[in-house]
Amino acid sequence: MTSAADLAAGGSGLFAPLMAFLLVVIVSFLLCLVAGMDNDTVADFFTANRSLSVARNALALSGDFIFTTALLSSVGAVALAGYDGMVVAISAVAALGVLLLLAEPLRNTGHFTLGALLESRMTGTATRVGGTVITLAVCLPVMVAQLVVAGDVTAYVLGLTRPGAAEVCTALIGVLIVSFAAFGGMRGSSMIEIVKVIVVFGTILTVSCAALSRSHWDVGTLLETAAGHSGGPRSFYAPGRLYGDTTTGRLDLISLCVTVVLGSAVFPHILLRVSASRNGPAARRAASGAVVMIALFYGSMILTGLGAAATLGADVIASHDPQGNTALFLLADTFAKSGTGLLFTMVACAAFVTVLGTVAGLTMAASASLAHDLYAGVGRRGLGGERGEVNVARAAVMVFGLVGVYLAVVLHHWSIVPLSLFAAALTASVVLPAVVYSLFWNGFTRTGLLWTLYGSLACCVVLETFGPAVSGDPIALFPHRDFHWFPLQNIALATVPVGFFLGWAGSRLSRRSPADQRHFVETQTALLMGR
């Protein structure tokens, strides 16, 4: 890793990444400032007045799908786990297939928060409150995980090794990103996501091409070399390296794929992004474009992971980080030492802008739920002015963001794996059943909805708490304690069926009110005609 003395000596080790960081920060702030000048109405702040073109929304949607943890962990997963890592990467592409099916109906409802979408089907404020609870329960853990990674990456890039340096980086970056979101609104967030896609795609394509060039542009040679440095082809290209070649290990891998496929498509900031499309067909076309871009992205990530295994070897990568989250930086650093120093700078900027876009999107989704659902929908009963709602949204961005920054600093040396796994499982087990039933099932009732929201939430909390992601494992939240009884680290294989079952059972054991019946007819009309 580059030392801090490089900068003082005038070396290029720190100067290029630092200057690139500053350039990205300044450009991002200016984009948010310019884009946020006309965010005076609710439609402007939350959905950019639904004025985004298909191309811009496809780019922004692709950016929303690229989390910081995915950018860093995917390369490491392929490099260390081979076949298993590639299967997980392919599952991420399949998640966009789910969104492709839901994008047009979601946009046609005309709503941009989970609570408002659910209330369009059911009467009563409990639906908006439930939507807000789930939105915060999903966004906060993911935001904390992204900020922890951001602090570690920034400290790594700048060569800061003193105790507390990563926490300081986390706090500074977090406050900066929260300010971006408060200024920019949906237009600013969209600009950031577009810049993020350009930077990240350019970086990953460049690194993957550099890795492939070392194998003389022969994929077969790359595959053989990667396997040779990682235990041989029979081990590297066989299932079982990620969670073990046991029944529990295989189920864990399947559960992880279920989590990625079903959960990634319905994150709250993804729902918010879909609502920014001009109409339903535009949302579907944007999702189609995003499928192509994300497929290209994860294909490049697989090549980069194989390149890391071929160049560095699994043992070297695991010695730096058992989960392989530093594999991309190690590979770029190796290329930098061989004369391609620009790659390390590009990776550093890609990681930063990925954090910026992801956290900005999450804070936007959380503030939309707090301002539009709780303040305007429940507190003011829809009678508050738009100016007041936008001001509350900006305040909610700051409050929610600062809470996330504080938790990221406090939990910095804890394992972030349970946070990301829990949030993804929650979207697959709670949000997806609630959305699918609300949009398409005539027999769905208010009781079924509340059972899905709170029953599935409770199920996820219990299984995650008593699973190996929290205790009984070296990378668990409490690695030195063991009170787990649920065997899987990824709980979605159990909780997704529970979520759908609770919605079905609660609906069968209750009756729809006449008002709910009218709401269903209105929802179906909106799905066909759009709003």
For residue 452, the model assigns a pLDDT of 94
Mean pLDDT of 438-450: 88
3-state SS record for 255-319:
HHHHHHHHHHHHCHHHHHHHHCECCHHHHHHHHHHHHHHHHHHHHHHHHHHHHHHHHCCHHHHHH
For residue 39, the model assigns a pLDDT of 58
For residue 453, the model assigns a pLDDT of 93
For residue 206, the model assigns a pLDDT of 86
Residue with tokens 């009984």: 472
Residue with tokens 């928060």: 113
Mean pLDDT of 110-135: 85
Mean pLDDT of 358-362: 85
Classify residue 410 as exposed, middle or buried by CB count within 10 Å of its CB (0-12, 13-18, 19+): exposed
For residue 7, the model assigns a pLDDT of 31
Position 192 confidence tier, pLDDT thresholds 50, 70, 90: confident
Please say if the pLDDT value at position 137 is more than 50. Answer: yes
- DSSP reduced 3-state for 52: strand
pLDDT tens digits, one per residue of 26-46: 666 666 666 555 556 777 777
Task: Give the pair of three-digit tokens for residue 376.
Answer: 């305007």
Q: How far is CA 409 from the centre of its chain?
A: 20
What distances in angstroms separate CA 38 from CA 50, 59, 61, 435, one per listed residue?
13, 22, 22, 31
For residue 337, the model assigns a pLDDT of 64
Please say if the pLDDT value at position 378 is more than 80. Answer: no
Please say if the pLDDT value at position 384 is more than 70. Answer: no
For residue 444, the model assigns a pLDDT of 87
* CA–CA gap between residue 490 and residue 456 (Å, rounded): 15
Mean pLDDT of 270-290: 87
Helix intervals (H) in 383-491: 386-410, 417-426, 432-440, 446-450, 456-465
pLDDT tens digits, one per residue of 54-68: 888 888 888 888 887
- DSSP reduced 3-state for 427: helix
Residue with tokens 């994929």: 219
- DSSP reduced 3-state for 471: strand
Q: What percent of the chain has pLDDT over 70?
A: 86
For residue 385, the model assigns a pLDDT of 65
Please say if the pLDDT value at position 118 is more than 90. Answer: no
For residue 8, the model assigns a pLDDT of 32
* CA–CA gap between residue 432 and residue 451 (Å, rounded): 14
Q: What are the phi and psi torsion angles at 178 (to 5°)?
A: -60, -40
Mean pLDDT of 316-333: 82
First to last CA, the chain: 53
* CA–CA gap between residue 390 and residue 185 (Å, rounded): 10
For residue 3, the model assigns a pLDDT of 36
On average, the pLDDT of the chain sits at 81
In the chain, what are the domain boundaries? 5-34+44-529
Position 13 confidence tier, pLDDT thresholds 50, 70, 90: very low
Mean pLDDT of 392-417: 85
SS3 content of the chain, % helix, strand, coil (to 5): 80, 0, 20
Nearest residue to 64 (alpha-carbon basis) of 347, 348, 363, 362: 362
pLDDT tens digits, one per residue of 81-99: 888 889 998 998 888 888 8
**DSSP code of residue 478:** B
* CA–CA gap between residue 129 and residue 44 (Å, rounded): 24
Residue with tokens 């040779």: 228
pLDDT tens digits, one per residue of 303-318: 998 988 888 888 888 8
* CA–CA gap between residue 336 and residue 502 (Å, rounded): 54
What distances in angstroms separate CA 362 from CA 61, 132, 186, 397, one per listed residue?
13, 13, 11, 10
- Look at 276 and 528; give whichever has higher pLDDT: 276
Please say if the pLDDT value at position 103 is more than 70. Answer: yes
Mean pLDDT of 493-514: 89
Q: What is the CATH number of domain 5-34+44-529?
A: 1.20.1730.10
Task: Give the pair of three-digit tokens for residue 108.
Answer: 């046609």
Position 471 confidence tier, pLDDT thresholds 50, 70, 90: confident
Position 9 confidence tier, pLDDT thresholds 50, 70, 90: very low
Mean pLDDT of 495-508: 94
* CA–CA gap between residue 112 and residue 49 (Å, rounded): 11
Task: Give the pair of three-digit tokens for residue 307.
Answer: 């390149």
